């Protein structure tokens, strides 16, 4: 079944199941980069009671659909809840609510501020400390290895003053915009190579030293350091 046919079947399912006022796909099915392994990501506004998430498989596609009642977006809702929908386009928007919530998300992202300098310094220091602990070569050291690789991707984006949208978008953008950092991170991910891991953490230190000036303020305690 072709992608367009799968999309039609998914939309028909959502219409029948939820009688929605808004269907807002985002991610790969919205931007046309979907493949056979892609989930169908969407935000749906419906008056139907029930679960806030639909993970059904429709037309062989795994759904990752979040369900909201219209009242959720009345008044002052937190755009961070639905920020992943920033690149979506409503396929259905009966009362204009889909366009309104997208506008709120875009405004939120336009005013996004990275962490204060003090916390950025703490985060990069944490990466260096974790890399040293990875040298232990025991289960705890290997756990810290994976912990470091996971959290440092978000730290990298904060150092660049950009919002972190998750690994798929983050890695694609890094490969496109900063191939040198992408190669270092990809090498560190590929295996338990301490030299590669330390090269990646050194890259974060370089970005901190060369980074654009930040707003200085009271940094909240870095959660990574307190664990």
Average pLDDT over residues 115-127: 95
Strand partners, 40: 63
Average pLDDT over residues 146-169: 95
Decide if 19 contacts 74 (C-beta within 8 A): no
Instruction: Name the 3-class secondary structure at 23.
Output: strand
Of all residues in the chain, the percent with pLDDT exceeding 70 is: 92
Of the candidates 43, 3, 40, which has an alpha carbon nearest to the alpha carbon of residue 23?
43
Which pLDDT band, with edges at 50, 70 and 90, does 183 fall under? Answer: very high
CA distances from 35 to 30, 88, 124, 131, 220 (A): 12, 17, 36, 35, 41
Domain ranges of the chain: 3-110, 117-226
Q: Any idea which of 1-10, 14-23, 152-161, 168-177 has the lowest mean pLDDT?
A: 1-10
Of all residues in the chain, the percent with pLDDT exceeding 90 is: 77
Q: What is the pLDDT of residues 191-211, one digit of tens each?
A: 999 999 999 999 999 999 987
With 50 as the cut, is the pLDDT of residue 226 above it?
no
| Cα angle 57, 60, 64; round to 5 | 40
With 50 as the cut, is the pLDDT of residue 48 above it?
yes
Report how far residue 224's alpha carbon sits from residue 16's, in angstroms, rounded to the nearest whole number: 45
Q: How many CB atoms lie within 10 A of CB 67?
A: 21
Give pTM, 2 decimals: 0.80
Residue 1: predicted pLDDT: 59
Mean pLDDT of the chain, nearest integer? 89
Which pLDDT band, with edges at 50, 70 and 90, does 47 fall under? Answer: very high
Decide if 171 contacts 182 (C-beta within 8 A): yes
Residue 84 is classified by DSSP as: G
Residue 203: predicted pLDDT: 96
| Cα angle 70, 74, 75; round to 5 | 170
Decide if 23 contacts 42 (C-beta within 8 A): yes
φ, ψ for residue 113, nearest 5 deg: -120, 135
218 CB burial (10 A radius; 0-12, 13-18, 19+): exposed
Q: Which two tokens stand for residue 33?
A: 């980069």
With 50 as the cut, is the pLDDT of residue 30 above it?
yes
Q: What is the pLDDT of residues 207-223, one digit of tens each?
A: 999 875 454 443 333 33
Alpha carbon 224 to its chain centroid, in Å, reads 19
Decide if 121 contacts 225 (C-beta within 8 A): no
Residue 15: predicted pLDDT: 97
With 80 as the cut, is the pLDDT of residue 115 above it?
yes
CATH number of 3-110: 3.30.460.10
Instruction: Name the 3-class secondary structure at 43.
Output: strand
Report how far residue 167's alpha carbon sits from residue 170's, in angstroms, rounded to the nearest whole number: 5
Report how far residue 48's alpha carbon sits from residue 134's, in angstroms, rounded to the nearest whole number: 50
22 or 113, greater pLDDT: 22
Beta strand spans in the chain (E):
22-26, 40-45, 53-54, 57-58, 61-68, 92-93
């Amino acid at each position: 079944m072709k992608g367009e046919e799968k999309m039609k079947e998914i939309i028909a399912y959502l219409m029948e199941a939820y009688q929605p006022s808004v269907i807002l796909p985002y991610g790969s099915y919205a931007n046309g980069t979907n493949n056979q392994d892609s989930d169908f990501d969407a935000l749906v506004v419906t008056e139907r009671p029930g679960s806030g998430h639909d993970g059904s498989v429709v037309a062989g596609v795994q759904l990752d659909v979040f369900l909201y009642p219209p009242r959720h977006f009345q008044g002052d809702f937190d755009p961070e809840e639905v920020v992943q929908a920033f690149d979506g386009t409503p396929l259905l928007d009966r009362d204009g609510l889909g366009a309104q919530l997208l506008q709120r998300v875009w405004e939120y992202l336009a005013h996004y501020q990275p962490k204060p300098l003090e916390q950025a310094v703490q985060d990069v220091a944490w990466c260096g400390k974790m890399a040293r602990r990875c040298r232990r070569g025991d289960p705890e050291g290997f756990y810290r290895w994976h912990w470091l690789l996971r959290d440092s991707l978000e730290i990298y984006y904060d150092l660049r003053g950009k919002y972190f949208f998750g690994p798929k978008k983050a890695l694609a953008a890094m490969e496109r915009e900063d191939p040198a950092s992408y190669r270092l991170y990809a090498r560190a991910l590929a295996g338990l190579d301490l030299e590669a891991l330390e090269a990646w953490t050194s890259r974060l230190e370089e970005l901190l030293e060369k980074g654009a000036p930040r707003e200085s303020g009271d940094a909240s305690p870095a959660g990574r350091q307190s664990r």
